[in-house]
Structure 1
Amino acid sequence: MKMSETRQAALPAPLLKAARSRWGHLLFVLPGMLPVVAWALARQVGAWDLWAWFTPFVYFVIIPVLDFVLGEDRHNHDPADESELARDPYYRCLPLSCLPLQLGLLFWGAAVWAEAPFGLAGQLGWIVSMGCVGGVQGINAGHELIHKSNGVERAAGGVLLASVLYGSFKVEHIYGHHVDVATPDDNSTARRGESVYAFIARALARNVGRAFALERRHTERRGEVYRWARSEVFGWMLVSAAMCAVCVAIVGGTAGFVYYLGQAFFAIVLLETINYVEHYGLQRQRLPDGRYERVNPMHSWNSDYLLTNLLLFHLQRHSDHHAHATRRYHLLRHFDQSPQLPFGYATMVVLSWVPSLWRSVMHPRLDRFQAALSASR
């Protein structure tokens, strides 16, 4: 079965080689720098309320255009090189570097929120901008780190998630989503026909509670007594509370509280929107014994758009990530048999905001994939 419908990268060979190199992976810093650029430009030219929206404008207008222009890259590393690349400390350090960057930007953003001459539109734009940064530099990098066996990486991933009030994701994602993905038991798998708004509401209502329940189950299976006040989920909530207190100290009073909760809300909404995109309509087959088939690269939508993959630690190669969850981001592979998204994540997020448009794009593609899958069995 072959489901690849791709638009190959339009870059000249030397630039494409550079993009795949160690230096190309440094593009991950770009999303986090956008509010800094906006702040610097606003200081020079004014129009603070307009520049406050610069970050989401780049995320959801400029990046989709660049994705389309630059195209896709289906290149996989030579398997003979994978062992050496997996040990390379350079690639391990990049997601870890997001921890000081995210915390620095979170608290710097609070200071800007307190001092900049924003009107109401600018205040909202700044919170959305910092939420975009938290969704990409906080949650996305944290997601990469919590899957690793190294305790330092997992702890750093937890702190990054806690920076946007979503430390519970560390537990729910590993023990819930990765176990139940593409089944009715998973809150993070969107059903066919479900709107992104209904999906986000379901995720926000259920995922934190499910994280506590999953942690309780795993604690009791070890023969230990579960106490929610000593749980990992509650611990991350305390870390979030400490970060919120810092923002309150920087901004002052209720405004600091609004800033912290606001950026966290938009970061979580961005995460859950991407969750919606990643598994929309896909289902694992139930076996005769009642269990579901093993997760494989056909249970997640894949996207190989070059620019967004470099910005997101290759999160768009989600098919391989779910099939091999501990594989490091720079080694994730393209599989022709995986269902392929028509665009990169930034464009798909925008499409999801218009449910009728989303269905018109995704349902024919989903039907073709499912027909090909059925024919191959």
Structure 2
Amino acid sequence: MLWRVLTRSKTTDHHRWGYLVFLLAAAPPVVTWGSASRWGHWDSWAWYTPLMYFVLIPLADLVVGTDTLNPAAQDVPRLERSWYFAALPLLCVPLQIGLMLWGAHVFATAPFGPLGALGWVVSMGCLGGVLGINVAHELIHKPTRAEQWGGGLLLASVLYGSFKIEHIYGHHVDVATPRDNSTAYRGEHVYHFIGRALRHNVPRAFELERRHTLRRGGRWRWWRSEVSLWFACSAVFCALCVWIAGGWLGAVYFAGQAFIAVCLLEIINYVEHYGLMRRQLPDGRYERVDPKHSWNSDFLVTNMFLFHLQRHSDHHAHAARRYQLLRHFDESPQLPFGYAAAVVVALCPPLWRRLMDPRVDRHMEPLRRQPIQPAAG
């Protein structure tokens, strides 16, 4: 009841307090350290973060249920200008970076065995995926310098600054087409998809930035590019981890947590667009993106944790729309679970295909008979 009071208000403060749950998303590593310091069992507590993210949150989704409430039209201008909603993602920047660096100290000094050390790296990588990349995804679409830099620094903290360029100039242009390495085709298993994305998306970011610079009449040099800037920031973060950890263990920790965070991002990408494809026009272009080209989920708890990432169709139709304004559409395909549970199911390809392939077919078949909406421009 308290959760619904905090998150399901039909007033102008739509979901105002529910988004503070990002503080709970940041809490598991601290809970791990505090609990293990007091009671021991470091190797067991090291796995608390993935337990919370991928077991407790899906269970909370089942208990709390779904929410399809959209902001009232008369409230949109005020919500758009609200400093409160703009501040929450920005607060994640020092929180994520501080926790990531603190994690290097814990990794080097806590009495972990091999299993516990792995659990700590996985836990901090999960944190980097949720508090880092997910929040960065919100920030890099926004116009202010603070938000752009905040998003870039969050991505640099997990060694994936290239996402800032590839996502905006690549994924959002080519989503739901064969040209997009962040769109999973029907029948593709998640492990193949992760490998494909990791092989192609970083080089593509450099190429997209080069083309964009040349179109504006500039001269592109890789060492002066924005992608290189964010990788240089990652090098600084790695050096800080080495210094904090007192040696090479800091580099192992930084690379490990970054790898887990990036894999978590790509699993979410896999979930968001699995099997949903736009039709090609006679001139070679594709029909315009609309709310039918992304998987959505209305499970409320995960939506609060992820700043409404699960309202993904509206995001692709209106990329600059702020998270508190993203809308539910009845015509959008709906997952039978939240993104947190979807990550777990996706990691078991036979189960994923059994649950999702029939849904893909049921959703796509009527679309193939509809008139094609021409692409914009």
Is TM more than 0.5 here?
A: yes
1:52 aligned to 2:46?
yes
Listed as ranges, the matches of 1:27-46 within 5 Å are 27-46=21-40
Is the 2:291–2:332 Cα contact (8 Å) retained in structure 1? yes
How far the C-alpha of 1:56 sits from its partner, in A, is 0.5
Partner Cα distance (1:350, 1:43) in 2: 29
Task: Report the equivalent of 1:115.
Answer: 109
Q: 1:83 aligns with which of 77, 88, 104?
A: 77
Listed as ranges, the matches of 1:128-167 within 5 Å are 128-167=122-161
Partner Cα distance (2:341, 2:200) in 1: 27
**Match of 1:262, as an amino acid?**
G
Listed as ranges, the matches of 1:210-359 within 5 Å are 210-359=204-353
Provide closer, same or farther for how the CA distance between residues 321 and 247 of structure 1 changes in structure 2, counting only shifts above 3 A. same
1:24 aligned to 2:55?
no
Partner Cα distance (1:84, 1:263) in 2: 38
**Match of 1:239, as an amino acid?**
C
Provide closer, same or farther for how the CA distance between residues 298 and 179 of structure 1 changes in structure 2, counting only shifts above 3 A. same
1:70 aligned to 2:74?
no
Provide closer, same or farther for how the CA distance between residues 374 and 267 of structure 1 changes in structure 2, counting only shifts above 3 A. same
How far the C-alpha of 1:375 sits from its partner, in A, is 4.7
Aligned length: 368
Partner Cα distance (1:372, 1:44) in 2: 58
How far the C-alpha of 1:289 sits from its partner, in A, is 1.9
Is the 1:11–1:70 Cα contact (8 Å) retained in structure 2? no
What percent of counterpart residues are identical? 62
The alignment's C-alpha RMSD in Å is: 1.4
Provide closer, same or farther for how the CA distance between residues 330 and 347 of structure 1 changes in structure 2, counting only shifts above 3 A. same
**Match of 2:344, as an amino acid?**
V
Provide closer, same or farther for how the CA distance between residues 235 and 355 of structure 1 changes in structure 2, counting only shifts above 3 A. same
TM-score when normalising by structure 2: 0.95
**Match of 1:307, as an amino acid?**
V
Partner of 1:190: helix, strand, or coil? coil
How far the C-alpha of 1:144 sits from its partner, in A, is 0.2
Structure 1, gaps ≥5 residues long: 1-9
Structure 2, gaps ≥5 residues long: 372-377
Q: Deviations over 1:135-168 (max 9, x none)?
A: 0101001110000111210111000000000000
